[in-house]
Amino acid sequence: MYIKVKRGIAIASSEITPESVYHSRRKFMQGAGLALGAGLAGTSLLPSAASAQAGGYEIKSAGDLNLAEKTFWLEQKVMARKPAPQSGPYTTDENITPFDTATTYNNFYEFGTGKQDPSNRARDFRVDPWTVEVKGECGKPGNYTLEDILRPHTLEERIYRMRCVERWSMVIPWVGFPLADLLSRFEPNGNAKYVEFLTLVDPGQMPEQRSRFSTLEWPYHEGLRMDEAMHPLTIMAVGIYGNVLPAQNGAPMRLVVPWKYGYKGIKSIVSINFRETEPPTSWNDYAANEYGFFSNVNPNVRHPRWSQAREMRLPTPLFAAQERETLMFNGYEEEVASLYAGMDLRKFH
């Protein structure tokens, strides 16, 4: 059921963390994960800022992650993740976006339309308990707790480029697991051609959902074709930078599809629905001429109001924008182009 609502940084480039430093920090975090003991349940699992800085950049403490409630087991799983590989599509040699940029420059319209609104307004967002409804064309529908969803999966780190339709981009080290592994557990049947996702509706926690001037209709809804959902690059993320997901980044679980524009990465998921027909999606409902269902990053298909041929990598100095050419499928063309063989990518944008 949809709730219908009426519509009505200047950071020096020198602050970008080199990948070599990030890899050193990742090794440090792996060691820290091995040292965890059962007696730490009531304390932060992360090193102090002073010790963390020796690894290359400041590791945020659990208290800085804007999650009012977290469970010890999830922190353990995130800390014990498999590291990103040294090469291949699951990593990149591009500079990692600083943690502070990735967690304070966000689109999460449930908390507001300003880029800082999510980090400012989601500080008390509650994610425990959390339940995900699974339904539709599958053999194992039901209501699953977050523990049910995540416990069987080994988490791994994926360093992906992220491209927003607004022309800015980041490079983010996600922690998650292949979406295909999760969906397979629910035994989708032969009629399942698409999978639909919904975000939480909770106006008490998400102030934009009670605004008369909200841009979108709630719940936020997104979807993928099944072959896209089952592709190895597509992940369900529960962490970033070796930490659990902050609320503003989609806690406790969100979708990451790196060859698509960022708005396809639906946050704070509470429903997974296997469908025979293409599901409606929030931004396509809002403006179908501007936002297509597929939403693949494509420098050759302009947004009606701006070109997509170039992008600005964040963070960027105020008077020295770090513009670069946008890559087809956000640089993942070799891996995903076959999914769209024979399709008119201007028509099916």
The separation between the first and the last C-alpha atoms of the chain, rounded to the nearest angstrom, is 27
* CATH superfamily assigned to domain 13-340: Oxidoreductase, molybdopterin-binding domain (3.90.420.10)
The answer to whether the pTM exceeds 0.75 is yes
Inter-residue contact 158 to 174 (CB < 8 Å): yes
pLDDT at site 319: 66
Distance CA 273, CA 261 (A): 21
Pairing of strands 323-325, 235-240: unpaired
pLDDT in tens, 175-231: 999 999 999 999 999 999 999 999 999 999 999 999 999 989 999 999 999 999 999
Which residue ranges of the chain lie beneath pLDDT 70? 1-71, 318-320
User: Could you give the CA distance from residue 158 to residue 169 in angstroms, rounded to a whole number?
Assistant: 16
- Residue showing tokens 């919904």: 198
Helices (H), 35-193: 49-52, 72-79, 99-102, 117-121, 146-150, 179-185
